[in-house]
Structure 1
Amino acid sequence: MIARDRLVDACTQLLHPDRFKDYTLNGLQVAGRERVQRVLSGVTACQALLDEAVAWEADLILVHHGYFWKNEPVAITGMKQRRLATLLRHDINLLAYHLPLDAHATLGNNACLGDRLGLRATACADGELGEGLLWLGEPAEPRDTPAMARYLEAVLGRAPTTVQGHERAIRRIAWCTGGAQDMIASAAEAGADAFISGEISERTTHQAREMGISYFAAGHHATERYGVQALGARLAEELGIEHRFVDIDNPA
Protein backbone atom coordinates (compact mmCIF):
# COMPACT_ATOMS: atom_id res chain seq x y z
CA MET A 1 0.00 0.00 0.00
CA ILE A 2 1.28 3.46 -0.93
CA ALA A 3 0.25 7.06 -0.46
CA ARG A 4 -2.25 8.22 -3.05
CA ASP A 5 -0.24 11.37 -3.65
CA ARG A 6 2.82 9.29 -4.51
CA LEU A 7 0.81 7.51 -7.22
CA VAL A 8 -0.50 10.80 -8.58
CA ASP A 9 3.04 12.20 -8.63
CA ALA A 10 4.22 9.13 -10.55
CA CYS A 11 1.53 9.75 -13.19
CA THR A 12 2.51 13.41 -13.41
CA GLN A 13 6.14 12.47 -13.99
CA LEU A 14 5.16 9.98 -16.70
CA LEU A 15 2.47 11.94 -18.55
CA HIS A 16 3.38 15.63 -18.04
CA PRO A 17 -0.26 16.83 -18.10
CA ASP A 18 0.85 20.47 -17.79
CA ARG A 19 2.05 20.34 -21.42
CA PHE A 20 -1.49 19.91 -22.76
CA LYS A 21 -4.35 22.34 -23.25
CA ASP A 22 -7.24 19.96 -22.65
CA TYR A 23 -11.04 19.96 -22.46
CA THR A 24 -11.06 18.52 -18.96
CA LEU A 25 -9.11 18.23 -15.72
CA ASN A 26 -6.17 15.83 -15.88
CA GLY A 27 -5.12 14.23 -12.62
CA LEU A 28 -7.00 13.61 -9.38
CA GLN A 29 -10.64 14.49 -10.04
CA VAL A 30 -12.26 13.06 -6.90
CA ALA A 31 -10.31 12.48 -3.68
CA GLY A 32 -10.90 9.31 -1.68
CA ARG A 33 -8.80 7.45 0.86
CA GLU A 34 -5.20 8.53 1.21
CA ARG A 35 -3.66 5.04 0.98
CA VAL A 36 -3.87 2.95 -2.19
CA GLN A 37 -3.31 -0.75 -2.84
CA ARG A 38 -5.91 -1.67 -5.46
CA VAL A 39 -6.23 0.28 -8.71
CA LEU A 40 -9.07 -0.51 -11.11
CA SER A 41 -8.71 0.92 -14.60
CA GLY A 42 -11.14 1.37 -17.47
CA VAL A 43 -11.75 3.59 -20.47
CA THR A 44 -14.59 5.66 -18.99
CA ALA A 45 -15.71 6.36 -15.42
CA CYS A 46 -19.24 5.14 -16.10
CA GLN A 47 -21.50 3.75 -13.38
CA ALA A 48 -20.77 0.16 -14.41
CA LEU A 49 -17.05 0.71 -13.84
CA LEU A 50 -17.72 2.37 -10.48
CA ASP A 51 -19.82 -0.62 -9.44
CA GLU A 52 -16.97 -2.96 -10.40
CA ALA A 53 -14.61 -0.88 -8.28
CA VAL A 54 -16.93 -1.09 -5.28
CA ALA A 55 -17.29 -4.87 -5.66
CA TRP A 56 -13.50 -5.33 -5.95
CA GLU A 57 -12.90 -2.94 -3.04
CA ALA A 58 -10.65 -0.73 -5.17
CA ASP A 59 -8.94 2.25 -3.61
CA LEU A 60 -8.56 4.18 -6.85
CA ILE A 61 -10.12 4.22 -10.31
CA LEU A 62 -7.86 5.15 -13.23
CA VAL A 63 -9.54 6.18 -16.49
CA HIS A 64 -9.06 7.94 -19.81
CA HIS A 65 -12.50 9.59 -19.76
CA GLY A 66 -13.28 11.13 -16.40
CA TYR A 67 -15.58 13.99 -15.46
CA PHE A 68 -15.73 17.82 -15.53
CA TRP A 69 -15.64 18.37 -19.29
CA LYS A 70 -15.66 21.86 -20.74
CA ASN A 71 -19.20 23.21 -21.27
CA GLU A 72 -20.90 20.32 -19.47
CA PRO A 73 -23.77 21.23 -17.07
CA VAL A 74 -22.46 22.40 -13.71
CA ALA A 75 -25.33 21.09 -11.55
CA ILE A 76 -24.61 17.85 -9.69
CA THR A 77 -27.89 16.08 -10.42
CA GLY A 78 -29.09 12.87 -12.02
CA MET A 79 -26.37 10.66 -13.49
CA LYS A 80 -23.55 12.95 -12.30
CA GLN A 81 -24.88 12.94 -8.74
CA ARG A 82 -25.19 9.14 -8.69
CA ARG A 83 -21.64 8.67 -9.96
CA LEU A 84 -20.09 11.12 -7.51
CA ALA A 85 -22.17 9.73 -4.65
CA THR A 86 -20.80 6.24 -5.37
CA LEU A 87 -17.20 7.47 -5.24
CA LEU A 88 -17.70 9.56 -2.10
CA ARG A 89 -19.77 6.94 -0.27
CA HIS A 90 -17.06 4.32 -0.76
CA ASP A 91 -14.10 6.69 -0.37
CA ILE A 92 -12.68 5.81 -3.82
CA ASN A 93 -10.27 8.10 -5.68
CA LEU A 94 -10.85 8.97 -9.34
CA LEU A 95 -7.76 9.68 -11.45
CA ALA A 96 -8.20 10.62 -15.11
CA TYR A 97 -5.89 11.47 -18.01
CA HIS A 98 -7.23 12.52 -21.40
CA LEU A 99 -4.87 14.05 -24.00
CA PRO A 100 -1.71 13.21 -22.01
CA LEU A 101 -2.69 9.55 -22.24
CA ASP A 102 -3.37 9.82 -25.97
CA ALA A 103 0.03 11.30 -26.69
CA HIS A 104 2.54 9.44 -24.51
CA ALA A 105 5.33 7.92 -26.61
CA THR A 106 5.09 4.40 -25.13
CA LEU A 107 2.08 4.21 -22.80
CA GLY A 108 -0.35 6.35 -24.80
CA ASN A 109 -3.39 5.24 -26.73
CA ASN A 110 -1.75 6.08 -30.06
CA ALA A 111 1.45 4.24 -29.18
CA CYS A 112 -0.41 1.17 -27.90
CA LEU A 113 -2.80 1.07 -30.86
CA GLY A 114 0.13 1.34 -33.25
CA ASP A 115 1.90 -1.52 -31.48
CA ARG A 116 -1.21 -3.68 -31.58
CA LEU A 117 -1.69 -3.02 -35.30
CA GLY A 118 1.98 -3.57 -36.14
CA LEU A 119 2.50 0.02 -37.27
CA ARG A 120 6.01 1.46 -37.24
CA ALA A 121 5.66 5.02 -35.98
CA THR A 122 7.95 7.49 -37.72
CA ALA A 123 6.70 10.92 -36.63
CA CYS A 124 3.80 13.07 -35.50
CA ALA A 125 2.26 15.62 -37.82
CA ASP A 126 1.55 18.05 -34.96
CA GLY A 127 4.56 17.80 -32.67
CA GLU A 128 7.24 15.51 -31.32
CA LEU A 129 6.43 11.88 -30.58
CA GLY A 130 5.08 11.91 -27.07
CA GLU A 131 3.49 15.34 -27.45
CA GLY A 132 1.69 15.26 -30.81
CA LEU A 133 -1.68 13.59 -31.35
CA LEU A 134 -1.63 12.76 -35.08
CA TRP A 135 0.79 9.86 -35.51
CA LEU A 136 2.34 8.80 -38.81
CA GLY A 137 3.88 5.47 -39.73
CA GLU A 138 4.06 2.43 -41.92
CA PRO A 139 2.21 -0.89 -41.74
CA ALA A 140 4.12 -4.15 -41.51
CA GLU A 141 2.86 -4.94 -45.01
CA PRO A 142 0.92 -2.94 -47.60
CA ARG A 143 -2.80 -3.75 -47.88
CA ASP A 144 -5.56 -2.32 -49.99
CA THR A 145 -8.50 -0.68 -48.23
CA PRO A 146 -10.79 -3.75 -47.95
CA ALA A 147 -7.92 -5.89 -46.68
CA MET A 148 -6.96 -3.26 -44.13
CA ALA A 149 -10.55 -3.14 -42.91
CA ARG A 150 -10.52 -6.91 -42.40
CA TYR A 151 -7.21 -6.68 -40.57
CA LEU A 152 -8.54 -4.00 -38.20
CA GLU A 153 -11.60 -6.11 -37.47
CA ALA A 154 -9.44 -9.14 -36.67
CA VAL A 155 -7.18 -7.20 -34.31
CA LEU A 156 -9.73 -4.97 -32.57
CA GLY A 157 -12.69 -7.33 -32.52
CA ARG A 158 -15.10 -5.03 -34.34
CA ALA A 159 -15.61 -4.10 -37.97
CA PRO A 160 -14.58 -0.50 -38.73
CA THR A 161 -16.80 1.86 -40.65
CA THR A 162 -14.73 2.21 -43.82
CA VAL A 163 -14.62 4.88 -46.51
CA GLN A 164 -12.49 3.90 -49.49
CA GLY A 165 -10.72 6.95 -50.82
CA HIS A 166 -8.61 5.20 -53.49
CA GLU A 167 -7.70 1.76 -54.85
CA ARG A 168 -3.92 1.78 -54.26
CA ALA A 169 -2.09 -0.16 -51.56
CA ILE A 170 -1.84 1.54 -48.17
CA ARG A 171 1.83 2.18 -47.42
CA ARG A 172 1.65 5.24 -45.14
CA ILE A 173 -0.86 5.52 -42.32
CA ALA A 174 -1.92 8.32 -39.99
CA TRP A 175 -3.81 7.58 -36.81
CA CYS A 176 -5.28 9.28 -33.76
CA THR A 177 -7.52 7.35 -31.38
CA GLY A 178 -10.96 8.45 -30.23
CA GLY A 179 -12.98 11.27 -31.75
CA ALA A 180 -10.33 12.68 -34.07
CA GLN A 181 -12.11 12.33 -37.40
CA ASP A 182 -11.57 16.02 -38.18
CA MET A 183 -7.81 15.44 -38.35
CA ILE A 184 -8.37 13.76 -41.72
CA ALA A 185 -7.32 16.87 -43.65
CA SER A 186 -4.03 17.01 -41.75
CA ALA A 187 -3.54 13.29 -42.37
CA ALA A 188 -4.02 13.78 -46.10
CA GLU A 189 -1.69 16.79 -46.14
CA ALA A 190 0.96 14.65 -44.41
CA GLY A 191 0.84 12.21 -47.32
CA ALA A 192 -1.00 9.37 -45.63
CA ASP A 193 -2.80 6.78 -47.75
CA ALA A 194 -5.15 6.02 -44.85
CA PHE A 195 -6.29 7.54 -41.57
CA ILE A 196 -7.46 5.48 -38.58
CA SER A 197 -9.48 7.02 -35.75
CA GLY A 198 -12.43 6.09 -33.61
CA GLU A 199 -15.48 7.96 -34.89
CA ILE A 200 -16.95 9.20 -38.15
CA SER A 201 -19.09 12.22 -38.99
CA GLU A 202 -21.26 12.69 -42.07
CA ARG A 203 -18.74 15.10 -43.57
CA THR A 204 -15.85 12.66 -43.12
CA THR A 205 -17.08 10.44 -45.94
CA HIS A 206 -16.96 13.26 -48.46
CA GLN A 207 -13.61 14.49 -47.21
CA ALA A 208 -12.03 11.05 -47.56
CA ARG A 209 -13.35 10.51 -51.08
CA GLU A 210 -12.44 13.97 -52.32
CA MET A 211 -9.00 14.01 -50.67
CA GLY A 212 -8.14 10.52 -51.89
CA ILE A 213 -7.46 9.05 -48.44
CA SER A 214 -9.12 5.93 -47.05
CA TYR A 215 -10.70 6.35 -43.64
CA PHE A 216 -11.35 3.78 -40.94
CA ALA A 217 -13.59 4.61 -37.97
CA ALA A 218 -12.47 1.73 -35.77
CA GLY A 219 -14.41 2.73 -32.65
CA HIS A 220 -13.76 5.35 -30.00
CA HIS A 221 -13.79 2.76 -27.23
CA ALA A 222 -12.03 0.08 -29.26
CA THR A 223 -9.09 2.34 -30.13
CA GLU A 224 -8.70 3.71 -26.59
CA ARG A 225 -8.68 0.53 -24.48
CA TYR A 226 -4.95 0.08 -24.38
CA GLY A 227 -3.29 3.19 -22.98
CA VAL A 228 -4.94 3.02 -19.57
CA GLN A 229 -4.03 -0.67 -19.34
CA ALA A 230 -0.40 0.12 -20.09
CA LEU A 231 -0.34 2.93 -17.54
CA GLY A 232 -1.95 0.77 -14.88
CA ALA A 233 0.51 -2.06 -15.52
CA ARG A 234 3.46 0.37 -15.28
CA LEU A 235 2.21 1.75 -11.97
CA ALA A 236 1.71 -1.75 -10.59
CA GLU A 237 5.23 -2.75 -11.57
CA GLU A 238 6.94 0.36 -10.27
CA LEU A 239 4.90 0.97 -7.11
CA GLY A 240 4.07 -2.58 -6.02
CA ILE A 241 0.30 -2.17 -6.10
CA GLU A 242 -2.48 -4.31 -7.56
CA HIS A 243 -3.97 -3.37 -10.92
CA ARG A 244 -6.97 -4.75 -12.76
CA PHE A 245 -8.46 -3.52 -16.05
CA VAL A 246 -12.19 -3.87 -16.68
CA ASP A 247 -13.46 -3.54 -20.25
CA ILE A 248 -17.02 -2.22 -20.11
CA ASP A 249 -18.31 -3.07 -23.57
CA ASN A 250 -19.18 -0.09 -25.74
CA PRO A 251 -20.06 -0.36 -29.46
CA ALA A 252 -19.29 3.32 -30.15
Structure 2
Amino acid sequence: MASLQEIVAFLDAELRISEIPDYSGAVNGLQLENGGAVTKVAAAVDASLPVVEAAVAAGADLLVVHHGMFWQGMQPLTRAFYRKIKAAMDGGLAIYSAHLPLDVHPELGNNVLMLKALGFEVSGTFFDWKGVRLGLVAETDISRESLILKVSEVVGGSVHVCPGGPETVRKIGLVTGGAGSEVAICPKSGVDTFITGEGPHWSYPLAEELGVNLLYAGHYATETFGVKALAGRLARDFALEQVFIDRPTGL
Protein backbone atom coordinates (compact mmCIF):
# COMPACT_ATOMS: atom_id res chain seq x y z
CA MET A 1 0.00 0.00 0.00
CA ALA A 2 1.23 3.49 -0.86
CA SER A 3 0.12 7.00 -0.04
CA LEU A 4 -1.79 8.84 -2.77
CA GLN A 5 -0.20 12.08 -1.55
CA GLU A 6 3.31 10.68 -2.00
CA ILE A 7 2.50 9.32 -5.45
CA VAL A 8 1.01 12.63 -6.59
CA ALA A 9 4.04 14.54 -5.30
CA PHE A 10 6.31 12.16 -7.24
CA LEU A 11 4.28 12.46 -10.45
CA ASP A 12 4.00 16.25 -10.25
CA ALA A 13 7.78 16.57 -9.88
CA GLU A 14 8.79 13.88 -12.38
CA LEU A 15 6.45 15.16 -15.09
CA ARG A 16 7.06 18.84 -14.30
CA ILE A 17 3.34 19.43 -14.17
CA SER A 18 3.59 23.05 -13.02
CA GLU A 19 6.27 23.97 -15.59
CA ILE A 20 4.93 22.62 -18.88
CA PRO A 21 2.07 24.55 -20.54
CA ASP A 22 -0.90 22.72 -21.97
CA TYR A 23 -4.36 23.18 -23.42
CA SER A 24 -6.94 24.47 -20.93
CA GLY A 25 -8.95 21.26 -20.96
CA ALA A 26 -5.99 19.13 -19.93
CA VAL A 27 -6.13 20.04 -16.21
CA ASN A 28 -2.94 18.11 -15.58
CA GLY A 29 -2.35 16.53 -12.19
CA LEU A 30 -4.68 14.95 -9.67
CA GLN A 31 -8.23 15.38 -10.95
CA LEU A 32 -10.02 13.27 -8.35
CA GLU A 33 -8.71 12.02 -5.03
CA ASN A 34 -9.71 8.98 -3.02
CA GLY A 35 -9.38 8.04 0.64
CA GLY A 36 -5.61 8.38 0.45
CA ALA A 37 -4.33 4.83 -0.09
CA VAL A 38 -3.22 3.11 -3.31
CA THR A 39 -2.60 -0.59 -3.83
CA LYS A 40 -3.17 -0.98 -7.57
CA VAL A 41 -2.67 1.46 -10.43
CA ALA A 42 -4.54 1.31 -13.71
CA ALA A 43 -3.32 3.03 -16.87
CA ALA A 44 -5.47 4.14 -19.78
CA VAL A 45 -5.40 6.69 -22.58
CA ASP A 46 -8.79 8.25 -21.81
CA ALA A 47 -10.71 8.82 -18.58
CA SER A 48 -14.00 7.72 -20.12
CA LEU A 49 -16.91 6.15 -18.25
CA PRO A 50 -16.16 2.61 -19.57
CA VAL A 51 -12.51 3.00 -18.56
CA VAL A 52 -13.41 4.17 -15.06
CA GLU A 53 -15.83 1.26 -14.65
CA ALA A 54 -13.20 -1.19 -15.88
CA ALA A 55 -10.55 0.23 -13.54
CA VAL A 56 -12.88 -0.12 -10.55
CA ALA A 57 -13.82 -3.66 -11.60
CA ALA A 58 -10.10 -4.50 -11.81
CA GLY A 59 -9.62 -3.39 -8.20
CA ALA A 60 -7.54 -0.31 -9.01
CA ASP A 61 -7.60 2.67 -6.68
CA LEU A 62 -5.56 4.99 -8.92
CA LEU A 63 -6.18 5.59 -12.62
CA VAL A 64 -3.43 7.31 -14.61
CA VAL A 65 -4.56 8.71 -17.97
CA HIS A 66 -3.33 10.85 -20.84
CA HIS A 67 -6.67 12.54 -21.55
CA GLY A 68 -8.45 13.54 -18.36
CA MET A 69 -12.07 14.19 -17.48
CA PHE A 70 -12.33 17.84 -18.48
CA TRP A 71 -11.48 18.00 -22.20
CA GLN A 72 -14.98 19.26 -22.95
CA GLY A 73 -14.59 22.11 -20.48
CA MET A 74 -16.95 22.99 -17.67
CA GLN A 75 -20.09 20.90 -17.67
CA PRO A 76 -22.89 20.06 -15.24
CA LEU A 77 -22.60 16.95 -13.10
CA THR A 78 -25.44 15.17 -14.85
CA ARG A 79 -25.98 12.12 -17.07
CA ALA A 80 -22.79 10.33 -18.19
CA PHE A 81 -20.46 12.78 -16.45
CA TYR A 82 -22.29 12.25 -13.15
CA ARG A 83 -22.18 8.48 -13.59
CA LYS A 84 -18.45 8.62 -14.25
CA ILE A 85 -17.67 10.70 -11.17
CA LYS A 86 -20.01 8.59 -9.03
CA ALA A 87 -18.49 5.33 -10.28
CA ALA A 88 -15.00 6.55 -9.44
CA MET A 89 -15.93 7.88 -6.02
CA ASP A 90 -17.99 4.83 -5.08
CA GLY A 91 -15.07 2.66 -6.16
CA GLY A 92 -12.47 4.67 -4.26
CA LEU A 93 -10.69 5.47 -7.53
CA ALA A 94 -8.36 8.46 -7.72
CA ILE A 95 -7.69 9.88 -11.20
CA TYR A 96 -4.45 11.52 -12.32
CA SER A 97 -4.01 13.01 -15.79
CA ALA A 98 -0.88 14.05 -17.70
CA HIS A 99 -1.14 15.29 -21.29
CA LEU A 100 1.76 17.27 -22.81
CA PRO A 101 3.97 16.71 -19.73
CA LEU A 102 3.79 13.00 -20.51
CA ASP A 103 4.20 13.43 -24.28
CA VAL A 104 7.53 15.21 -23.89
CA HIS A 105 9.05 13.33 -20.94
CA PRO A 106 12.56 12.18 -21.96
CA GLU A 107 12.13 8.64 -20.57
CA LEU A 108 8.43 7.97 -20.02
CA GLY A 109 7.03 10.08 -22.85
CA ASN A 110 4.87 8.90 -25.74
CA ASN A 111 7.24 10.46 -28.27
CA VAL A 112 10.50 8.99 -27.06
CA LEU A 113 9.04 5.54 -26.37
CA MET A 114 7.41 5.28 -29.79
CA LEU A 115 10.59 6.42 -31.51
CA LYS A 116 12.61 3.82 -29.60
CA ALA A 117 10.02 1.15 -30.38
CA LEU A 118 10.61 1.96 -34.06
CA GLY A 119 14.32 1.36 -33.53
CA PHE A 120 15.51 4.96 -33.92
CA GLU A 121 17.67 7.17 -31.72
CA VAL A 122 16.70 10.73 -30.90
CA SER A 123 18.90 13.18 -32.80
CA GLY A 124 17.08 16.39 -31.91
CA THR A 125 13.79 18.16 -31.28
CA PHE A 126 11.41 20.34 -33.32
CA PHE A 127 8.01 22.05 -33.13
CA ASP A 128 8.22 24.79 -30.54
CA TRP A 129 4.93 25.46 -28.70
CA LYS A 130 4.88 28.04 -25.89
CA GLY A 131 8.55 27.43 -25.23
CA VAL A 132 8.32 23.63 -25.20
CA ARG A 133 9.77 21.47 -27.98
CA LEU A 134 6.96 19.00 -28.57
CA GLY A 135 8.46 16.80 -31.30
CA LEU A 136 11.46 14.51 -31.69
CA VAL A 137 13.71 14.06 -34.71
CA ALA A 138 15.62 10.99 -35.89
CA GLU A 139 18.19 10.77 -38.68
CA THR A 140 17.92 7.62 -40.78
CA ASP A 141 18.32 6.04 -44.21
CA ILE A 142 15.32 3.80 -44.78
CA SER A 143 12.80 3.29 -47.53
CA ARG A 144 9.38 4.81 -47.04
CA GLU A 145 7.73 1.40 -47.41
CA SER A 146 9.99 -0.17 -44.78
CA LEU A 147 9.20 2.67 -42.39
CA ILE A 148 5.47 2.25 -42.96
CA LEU A 149 5.77 -1.45 -42.08
CA LYS A 150 7.71 -0.60 -38.91
CA VAL A 151 5.12 1.92 -37.79
CA SER A 152 2.28 -0.51 -38.50
CA GLU A 153 3.96 -3.20 -36.41
CA VAL A 154 4.60 -0.83 -33.50
CA VAL A 155 1.04 0.51 -33.30
CA GLY A 156 -0.51 -2.86 -34.07
CA GLY A 157 -2.67 -1.62 -36.91
CA SER A 158 -2.93 0.08 -40.25
CA VAL A 159 -1.23 3.39 -41.04
CA HIS A 160 -2.81 5.95 -43.34
CA VAL A 161 -0.09 7.42 -45.55
CA CYS A 162 0.31 10.55 -47.61
CA PRO A 163 3.35 9.67 -49.79
CA GLY A 164 4.13 13.29 -50.48
CA GLY A 165 7.85 13.11 -49.80
CA PRO A 166 10.89 11.11 -50.90
CA GLU A 167 10.90 7.34 -51.22
CA THR A 168 14.08 7.22 -49.12
CA VAL A 169 13.52 8.73 -45.68
CA ARG A 170 16.40 10.74 -44.24
CA LYS A 171 14.87 12.72 -41.39
CA ILE A 172 11.85 11.69 -39.33
CA GLY A 173 9.82 14.03 -37.17
CA LEU A 174 7.50 12.44 -34.62
CA VAL A 175 4.71 13.95 -32.52
CA THR A 176 2.19 11.47 -31.14
CA GLY A 177 -1.53 12.24 -31.00
CA GLY A 178 -3.33 14.74 -33.17
CA ALA A 179 -0.51 16.84 -34.62
CA GLY A 180 -1.19 16.42 -38.34
CA SER A 181 -2.19 20.06 -38.63
CA GLU A 182 1.41 21.00 -37.82
CA VAL A 183 2.84 19.44 -40.99
CA ALA A 184 3.87 22.89 -42.28
CA ILE A 185 6.66 23.05 -39.69
CA CYS A 186 8.41 20.02 -41.20
CA PRO A 187 10.23 21.63 -44.16
CA LYS A 188 11.54 24.38 -41.88
CA SER A 189 13.13 21.70 -39.70
CA GLY A 190 14.44 19.59 -42.59
CA VAL A 191 11.95 16.82 -41.77
CA ASP A 192 10.95 14.84 -44.87
CA THR A 193 8.70 12.35 -43.07
CA PHE A 194 6.26 13.23 -40.30
CA ILE A 195 4.78 10.54 -38.05
CA THR A 196 1.79 11.46 -35.92
CA GLY A 197 -1.55 10.04 -34.84
CA GLU A 198 -4.13 11.91 -36.87
CA GLY A 199 -4.82 15.22 -38.58
CA PRO A 200 -7.52 17.23 -40.34
CA HIS A 201 -8.42 16.52 -43.96
CA TRP A 202 -6.44 19.47 -45.28
CA SER A 203 -3.20 18.21 -43.73
CA TYR A 204 -2.97 15.50 -46.43
CA PRO A 205 -3.03 17.80 -49.49
CA LEU A 206 -0.80 20.25 -47.65
CA ALA A 207 1.78 17.50 -47.06
CA GLU A 208 1.70 16.74 -50.78
CA GLU A 209 2.30 20.40 -51.61
CA LEU A 210 5.17 20.62 -49.13
CA GLY A 211 6.85 17.40 -50.32
CA VAL A 212 6.51 15.64 -46.96
CA ASN A 213 5.58 12.03 -46.22
CA LEU A 214 2.82 12.10 -43.61
CA LEU A 215 2.04 8.94 -41.65
CA TYR A 216 -1.18 8.95 -39.60
CA ALA A 217 -0.68 6.04 -37.19
CA GLY A 218 -3.74 6.59 -34.99
CA HIS A 219 -4.28 9.07 -32.16
CA TYR A 220 -5.07 6.37 -29.62
CA ALA A 221 -2.46 3.90 -30.85
CA THR A 222 0.40 6.41 -30.64
CA GLU A 223 -0.50 7.43 -27.09
CA THR A 224 -0.55 4.14 -25.23
CA PHE A 225 3.21 4.15 -24.63
CA GLY A 226 3.44 6.81 -21.95
CA VAL A 227 0.66 5.70 -19.60
CA LYS A 228 1.91 2.12 -19.71
CA ALA A 229 5.43 3.23 -18.82
CA LEU A 230 4.16 5.57 -16.11
CA ALA A 231 2.10 2.82 -14.47
CA GLY A 232 5.12 0.53 -14.66
CA ARG A 233 7.27 3.12 -12.93
CA LEU A 234 4.72 3.57 -10.15
CA ALA A 235 4.35 -0.18 -9.73
CA ARG A 236 8.10 -0.55 -9.38
CA ASP A 237 8.83 2.43 -7.15
CA PHE A 238 5.80 2.10 -4.87
CA ALA A 239 5.37 -1.71 -4.89
CA LEU A 240 1.94 -1.58 -6.53
CA GLU A 241 0.00 -3.93 -8.75
CA GLN A 242 -0.73 -2.57 -12.21
CA VAL A 243 -3.15 -3.08 -15.09
CA PHE A 244 -3.64 -1.48 -18.50
CA ILE A 245 -7.21 -0.68 -19.54
CA ASP A 246 -7.27 -0.95 -23.32
CA ARG A 247 -10.14 1.02 -24.85
CA PRO A 248 -9.13 1.79 -28.46
CA THR A 249 -11.10 4.34 -30.43
CA GLY A 250 -9.86 3.39 -33.89
CA LEU A 251 -8.94 7.03 -34.46
TM-score normalised by L of structure 2: 0.93
Runs of 4+ in structure 1 over 6 Å off: none
**CA deviation vs aligned residue, 1:103-143 (integer Å, no higher than 9, x gap):** 1001000011111111211111146xxx521111124x511
Question: Which residue is 1:5 aligned to?
Answer: 5
Equivalent position amino acid for 2:101 in 1: P
1:26 has 2:25 as partner: no
| Contact 1:134–1:187 under 8 Å retained in 2 | no
Distance 1:81 1:187 in 2: 42
Question: Which residue is 1:82 aligned to?
Answer: 83
Q: CA deviation at 1:67?
A: 1.3
Distance 1:125 1:84 in 2: 38
Structure that is richer in strand per residue: 2
Question: Which residue is 2:148 aligned to?
Answer: 149
| Contact 1:43–1:64 under 8 Å retained in 2 | yes
| Contact 1:149–1:159 under 8 Å retained in 2 | no
Aligned to 1:235, what secondary structure does the other structure show?
helix
**CA deviation vs aligned residue, 1:20-54 (integer Å, no higher than 9, x gap):** 22122111101112011111111111222212212
**CA deviation vs aligned residue, 1:4-24 (integer Å, no higher than 9, x gap):** 010001111210011222122
The CA RMSD over aligned residues, in Å, is 1.6
**CA deviation vs aligned residue, 1:73-94 (integer Å, no higher than 9, x gap):** 4222222111111111222100
Give percent identity, aligned residues only. Answer: 31
**CA deviation vs aligned residue, 1:160-206 (integer Å, no higher than 9, x gap):** 11001134300110010001112211122100110000012111111
Equivalent position amino acid for 1:5 in 2: Q
Question: Which residue is 1:184 aligned to?
Answer: 183
Aligned to 1:172, what secondary structure does the other structure show?
strand
| Contact 2:48–2:69 under 8 Å retained in 1 | no
Structure 1: gaps (5+ residues): none
Q: CA deviation at 1:227?
A: 0.4
Structure 2: gaps (5+ residues): none
Q: CA deviation at 1:246?
A: 2.0
Distance 1:98 1:37 in 2: 24
